[in-house]
Amino acid sequence: MAIPIRKPAEIDKLRKANIIVAKTLKYLSGQCKPGVSLLELDRMGEEYIRSLGARPSFKGLYGFPASVCTSVNEVIIHGVPTEYKLQEGDIIGLDIGTELDGWYGDAAVTVGVGTISKADEALIQIAKDTLYFAIEIIRPGLRFKELSYEIEKFIKARGYQPLHGFCGHGIGRKPHEEPEIPNYLEHGSPKSGPKIKEGMVFCLEPMICQKLGTPKILEDKWSVVSEDGLRGSHYEHTVAVIGGKAEILSKED
Ligand code: MG
């Protein structure tokens, strides 16, 4: 199946869904304080998304039980909200999806709770830096595999590892569409596979491990950690290729 090319009016719809994601992430980031539970964060996120007129698209997606992925410390992605109360020094990934008028938004951040260690600050920064590096190099004609390859090189040059088995993705009328965009060169040559074109819309989401990129899924069947047992980080934006470069849709207007 071909990767869809979106018309400007369709990109406007995607932008609207993604602005709600950005606003919700900003709001929720401010709520990540010691003593706040993951279930409270989930409820606050869901209410906030609905108050802005959208639907939390992760709720029920593949059976996910909540509106917000809350990934604490060793959990890198897909953390399920529980009664766990945040503690000083924790780091938490917040990943949110919205649906508005049949179009989808998706983005994520990792934030510290109170004062965090220098090592955790660096861990969060590499996820953010990788995301903005990837956004910066996007141009029509670049192959998705080249993008994955460059992302992997960037992460490894800083001494970290990309999480394997999970990836960025196309987005549009469904929350996950083609192509898959791993944060590493999965197979084949970077000079193979589809090229990025004007009008494509997709999510980039670096998922960072410290020593090993091998994923392990916890007993809750959702939470993804690294085999190394160390903390991880995650950042994500939805971008549209417009005017020869990537425009971030998941930012406040
Ligand atoms: Mg995503």
> Per-residue pLDDT tens for 112-123?
999 999 999 999
Distance 203 CA to ligand 1 centre (A): 6
At 164-190, the pLDDT tens digits run 999 999 999 999 999 999 999 999 999
Distance 168 CA to ligand 1 centre (A): 6
At 190-232, the pLDDT tens digits run 999 999 999 999 999 999 999 999 999 999 999 999 999 999 9
Per-residue confidence at 1, pLDDT binned at 50, 70, 90?
Answer: low
Specify the pTM.
0.97
Domain ranges (residues) in the chain: 8-248
DSSP 38-92: HHHHHHHHHHHHHHTT-EETTTTGGG--SSEEEEETT--B-PPP-SPBP-TT-EE
CATH top-level class of 8-248? alpha beta
Q: Based on the number of CB atoms within 10 Å of its own CB, is 89 exposed (0-12), middle (13-18) or buried (19 or more)?
A: middle
pLDDT at 132: 98
Distance 107 CA to ligand 1 centre (A): 6
pLDDT at 253: 77
Question: How much is the mean pLDDT over the chain?
Answer: 97
